[in-house]
Amino acid sequence: MAVRGHLIADREVLTNQGWHSVWDPARGEVVAEVPEATPAVVEEAVAAAARAGAEWRRRPVTERVQCLFRWKQLLEEHLEELAQLVTRHHGKTLAEARGEIRRGIEVVDFACGAPTWLQGRTLPEVSAGLDQDWYRRPVGIVACITPFNFPVMIPLWMVPLAVAAGNSVILKPSEKTPLAAGRLVELMWQAGFPPGVVNVVHGGAEVTRTLIQHPEVAAVSFVGSEPAAREVYAQAAATGKRVQAAGGAKNHLVILEDADWEAVLPAVLNSAFGNAGERCLAGSVALGVGAAYPRLLEAVVESARRLKLGPGDVEGVDIGPLIRADHRERVRGYIAQGHAEGAVLALDGRQAGQDLPGFFLGPTVLAGVQPDGVVAREEIFGPVLAVGGVSTLEEAVRWINASRYGNMAVLFTHSGKAARRFRETVECGMVGVNVGVAQPLAFYPFSGWKRSFYGDLHLHGPDGWDFYTRKQVVVTRW
């Protein structure tokens, strides 16, 4: 079994206070172990990041981006290897793994624009003989804490922009899917990044806390569940650090009768069941307006029933396993609770895949869901779609706006007027019109609202440059 240590400067470090088992969730077996970092390991990582960062920030930005160009090339060359790694310890299909890596590489592309994005501004003669300029300076050491569900893409939401801006990084990946982070950093070394500019420490919540509390860590980029995001935000703010903390979600798909039904069905299926429902942009409540409700329900159940469950590296598989057995139990619990509250189990996936050794759960559709039901309110993070009927678009928007989350909402319609009304009134940071997953590309911010995000500057896009730099104003008279 493989053991992967922390990567600090140019060394693999195995110092630990216990180990985390990494599973192949499709086969139900442990494939690797990673250490839980001790406070001394965190200290070592901070010292390495401080040393490397002092030199890195002084390198001309035109040289820093040469490392990014080479890294991008290496990521392209190793895309298939990385996809296999993601599928092996996350479980998603290879096509989904390739897709997340592609989205991640796009952030590296975007970071290569640093010489333009890092420019400041000058206003000469702001007063007699007086000039004013502002410069963007790196913030220092950035702690990047990532969730299990996108082991390559989410580190790449953070690291490329942070290092392009002249910062150094300590990346703490999820202890459930920690293997890709080390590989990303090895490719960075190969690309010419000095060791220590990005370090990897492994561990769980306690390691995150130690990192946040370290006086030399200047900024915290976090993506994970809502309670953890809230805690991270509060802790980082209490220690005076800048923080961006993306949390959980409950996303709604609204279908009007006039929608293009050929396009609706594949979009809804992909949104609800892609990545086995383990994504923060999963459409987990579908609301049919008027006659769209029965039509949607029938079509979704018919198609979802045909989705193929199995290991993500097997040809023709549509849905991989859930991340762990206990998570599958939680998802089963939500289905049972939704049913007990009166929702109709139009498709019950709880017994599907039982002949397979991994943590499988089949696509599940609950019908007649009410806005106050548990499956309508809580993030389930599994292949479970709650379907409800409403009379008007306004009723659908009221339903969505009652959610404590505000990550994504989608409308399917042919009506420009309805689409405009939807985006004006829905309280959500990412809005889709006739697309199932409204994911912003690298050059736009990943814009969760409400409890889906704590902070003000979002991940990547122009916000990323603002987050990873601080502005210095210089007032000059000669």
Q: Under the criterion CB under 6 A, does residue 224 sit at the interface with ligand NAD?
A: yes
| 8 Å CB contact between 171 and 159 | yes
Q: Which residues of 116-129 are buried (b: 16+ CB within 10 A; e: fewer)?
A: ebbeeeeeeeeeee
Q: Per rule CB under 6 A, is residue 445 in the interface with ligand NAD? A: no
Quickly count: other Cβ atoms within 10 Å of residue 156's Cβ.
25
Cα dist from 206 to 173, 175, 176, 178, whole Å: 13, 11, 15, 16
Helix ranges restricted to H, 245-354: 261-273, 292-304, 325-340
Q: Does residue 71 belong to the site contacting ligand NAD (CB under 6 A)?
A: no
Interactions with ligand NAD, residue window 259-318 (CB under 6 A): 280
Listed in sequence order, the residues at least 6 apart from 471 whose beta carbon sits closer than 8 Å to its beta carbon are 120, 134, 135, 136, 137
d(CA 284, CA 374): 12
Going by C-alpha positions, the residue among 358, 326, 330, 275 that lies closest to residue 30 is 358
- Which residue in 208, 251, 275, 413 binds ligand NAD (CB under 6 A)? 208
Of the candidates 106, 82, 35, 107, the one whose C-alpha atom is nearest the C-alpha of residue 187 is 82
Residue 45 CB, shortest distance to ligand NAD, in Å, is 15
Which range in 15-23, 73-81, 171-179, 269-277 contacts ligand NAD by CB under 6 A? 171-179
Are 297 and 386 in contact, with CB atoms under 8 Å apart?
A: no
Q: Is 24 in the site for ligand NAD (CB under 6 A)?
A: no
Give the binding-site size for ligand NAD (rule: CB under 6 A).
Answer: 29
Q: Which residue do the tokens 């296999």 mark?
A: 84
Write the binding mask 384 to 423 for ligand NAD: x where contact by CB under 6 A, - elsewhere: -----------------------x----------------
Q: Is 371 in the site for ligand NAD (CB under 6 A)?
A: no
Question: Closer to ligand NAD at the Cβ: 64 or 451?
Answer: 451
Q: How far is the CB of 170 from ligand NAD (least distance, A)?
A: 12
Distance CA 459, CA 456 (A): 10
Alpha-carbon gap, residue 266 to 269, rounded angstroms: 5
34 or 118: CB nearest ligand NAD: 34
**Encoded tokens for 94:** 């290879």
Q: Which residue is nearest to ligand NAD (CB)?
A: 224
User: Out of 44, 175, 318, 463, which residue is the one contacting ligand NAD (CB under 6 A)?
Assistant: 175
Query: Which three-class secondary structure state does DSSP give residue 431?
Result: strand
Q: Can residue 463 be called a binding residue for ligand NAD (CB under 6 A)? A: no
Catalytic residue among 67, 144, 280, 428: 280
Q: State yes or no: is 428 an active-site residue.
A: no
**Residues 121-160 interacting with ligand NAD (rule: CB under 6 A):** 145-149
Which lies closer to ligand NAD via its Cβ, residue 164 or residue 408? Answer: 408
Q: Which is nearer to ligand NAD, 92 or 136 (CB)?
A: 92
Q: Which stretch binds ligand NAD (CB under 6 A): 21-29, 218-226, 261-269, 348-356?
A: 218-226
Q: Which residues bind ligand NAD (CB under 6 A)?
A: 145-149, 172, 174-175, 204-205, 208-209, 223-225, 228, 231-232, 246-249, 280, 379, 381, 407, 446, 448, 452
Catalytic site residues?
A: 280
